[in-house]
Amino acid sequence: MKSERLNAYRIMWVLVFFDLPTETKKERKAAGDFRKKILADGFSMFQFSIYLRHCASMENATVHIKRVQKLLPETGHVGIMCITDKQFGMMKIFQGKKPTVAMNVPQQLEMF
């Protein structure tokens, strides 16, 4: 059923956290390339070195996790985490002491 497929416990968010070295020109290029490639795969910057992507299911999230794994630079630390849409919606986000408006969830289109 459609309602089963698009519920807050099935929809996933993939978060990619990274701390990459940038001391040499080669390291800066590798870090920049990694960032550009995950942006090209549909990730958005959440914070300076935290990127996230909305996925319709865990199966879809797994596809994007594998893509990120193929893009990993030679050095540095990269973490990947999946959370449900329900968990993401419970996140409290602040700018200074003021709460911010939650991110808009992308509209999911269904072909069938």
What pLDDT score does 84 carry? Answer: 95
- Cα 36 to Cα 10, 17, 57, 87, distances in angstroms: 28, 14, 24, 27
Q: What are phi and psi of 68, to 5 degrees?
A: -60, -40
What pLDDT score does 22 carry? Answer: 96
What pLDDT score does 1 carry? Answer: 47
What pLDDT score does 103 carry? Answer: 62
Give the pLDDT means over successive 10-residue stretches in the chain (112 positions).
64 96 96 97 95 95 97 96 94 84 60 52
What pLDDT score does 6 carry? Answer: 59
**Composition of the chain by helix, strand, coil, percent to 5:** 35, 25, 40
CATH class of 2-99: alpha beta
Q: What is the pTM of this model?
A: 0.81
What pLDDT score does 75 carry? Answer: 95
What pLDDT score does 46 carry? Answer: 94
